[in-house]
Chain A
């Protein structure tokens, strides 16, 4: 029995050691950390492999001694145990040697760290703000700003029991509507913060991650050595949809980057533009998330005496809702009480319309309900208010005009 067990155990250990040793050669299977395309990420990779091999070798030595002992010093082979109980030489050695090994590891680590923490002398600064659950990018020098969230296709596929095979979705959970765009060969500095809870911005091939903390600004830098599209995702638990706030960075050549900036400047890529895209989607009747049955019904019941553009407004409102509000208040408007209130038959959503516009414009301080006034255009807010009042099980029957929103904004 003992014989047997040992042999089994040995095989298993050998297998394990072999697996560890094979790890780097299997890199093609995404077993290892990516080398990345920046000097920083490659330096980190180098450090990672250094410590890894140090550990493997210590492991090999320690485990070999143990395995040898397990074989040779078992009772059946070695019936008389030795009686030694300590050895000063051995004990001093195995205290001192690890200390030396650690110093050898700590030195390059410290050097790399100093470099990573130096974000001065950057060529381009981008302000990144984490929201539950999307990212906002702002290029202050170029006057560009936009939101970036999980691509619609993946968003549909990732619903519980959506019936859609994730492998059929390209870059499932790793694709966004508006990627961050940067020029190659420039030192990019990110200024990270968050609006609600802590998030972390991470694209492994560019550099390590850094937390985006509400009320504080952290910085992080990278300098891409080649062009391409690089993917990552939020790396700090930030609530329900933490797994669904990807990050995509497009590294363009300088010329392409300049063209992109010009393009954005022309269309004024601000919050309003993000929704311009969805406007057309809504117009085309392609409000993707939920079949707009409920909406249509609500629109038709109240459509008679309301202004003729109510249906359009509701359709547009639905897509705004699907983009910005559904995460918390849910597709059916039931919310996730008590953290996220239901909008169906809510005091505010069925109360005076000014109050309704107001909470969307200004949010509710201290809660996850942020001030959407800064993110959405007047038209969007008017649309989503109208949608909420006449769909999701509500049928108040009135509607908000962009001018109403503008008026309240002024106060």
Chain B
């Protein structure tokens, strides 16, 4: 059959989504209960997480088997690609929300609290003596005296790590296309090693912040934006690193061909996205 009149592959019935829905429900309901200091919440969270992991492995496993069996044509491949691109786009917008909060606080809220624009009385009546500055924990000085995170230490190293990892994954990709399997394996391995190194250093950085700088989530708006942005980024690095390991294992099994390797590319895109977000973070959270 020629590609043009080839049938699009439509799977017939799948249990994975409903498993995923039930697990997601357990996770969410459990988390709500846990936050309310309920008794069963945490167990529901564990069960939900386990269920989701089971679903991810089961579902992707099925797709991988289908892929390996060769039933995916050009159009199926293209569907996956476009799907991944728009998923990443939605992630970009998720981060945009937090970056928006950062910019709003720095450019508007804090100057207003300091009396700028039409807000002289905000400052005079409610927060007299508050000088707008960044970083700040606000006119109420929430969380007490703190020191901001300097960009020159760990963050700079981390930037270097992530940038390097972007290079290594590109090397691996080219190796894959060129059929150089050895370089592919090593490039990929280097990438996730760099990812985990990054995470290790981030843990170290958080430890510094909490123990030595008195910089916490509760340290006013600076602490809030700092930890939310870097925290969600860290969560994405974790996810990306795990995906890299999975892809690496698949490479070891010889899953990808020079022309047919959507799984690899999806993870690479995701990794680049995480990288770009980090650059934004590095500039706007750490340096400026």
* Chain A interface residues (CB < 8 Å from chain B): 127, 191, 193, 215-217, 219
Contact = CB atoms under 8 A, between A and B. Distances in A.
Contacts of A193: 122, 125-126
Nearest to A192: B121
Contacts of A219: 118, 121
Given A215-B127, A217-B119, 20 more contacts: A127-B125, A191-B121, A191-B125, A193-B122, A193-B125, A193-B126, A215-B113, A215-B122, A215-B126, A216-B112, A216-B113, A216-B119, A216-B122, A216-B126, A217-B121, A217-B122, A217-B125, A217-B126, A219-B118, A219-B121
Interface of B: 112-113, 118-119, 121-122, 125-127
A3 to B, nearest CB: 48
A193 B118 CA distance: 14
A322 B119 CA distance: 36
Chain B interface main SS type: helix
A191 B112 CA distance: 15
A381 B74 CA distance: 77
A68 B113 CA distance: 59
6 contacts: A127-B125, A193-B126, A215-B126, A216-B113, A217-B125, A219-B118
Nearest to A214: B126
A352 B66 CA distance: 70
Nearest to B140: A215
Contacts of B122: 193, 215-217
Going nearest first, the 4 A-B pairs with the smallest beta carbon separation are A217-B121, A217-B122, A216-B122, A191-B121
Contacts of B121: 191, 217, 219
A219 B118 CA distance: 8
Contacts of B113: 215-216
A169 B121 CA distance: 39
A90 B125 CA distance: 58
Nearest to B118: A219
- Counting chain B CB atoms within 10 Å of each CB, the highest count among A127, A191, A215, A217 belongs to A217
Contacts of B119: 216-217
A117 to B, nearest CB: 8
Nearest to B123: A217
B254 to A, nearest CB: 57
A215 B110 CA distance: 11
B224 to A, nearest CB: 15
A193 B122 CA distance: 9
A193 B121 CA distance: 10
- Counting chain A CB atoms within 10 Å of each CB, the highest count among B112, B122, B127 belongs to B122
A191 B120 CA distance: 11
Nearest to A189: B121
B277 to A, nearest CB: 30
B112 to A, nearest CB: 7
Contacts of A216: 112-113, 119, 122, 126
Nearest to A119: B118
A219 B112 CA distance: 14
A216 B123 CA distance: 8
B237 to A, nearest CB: 33
A368 to B, nearest CB: 18
A211 to B, nearest CB: 13
A281 B122 CA distance: 38
A67 B113 CA distance: 56
B36 to A, nearest CB: 8
A127 B122 CA distance: 12
A315 B78 CA distance: 78
A131 B127 CA distance: 19
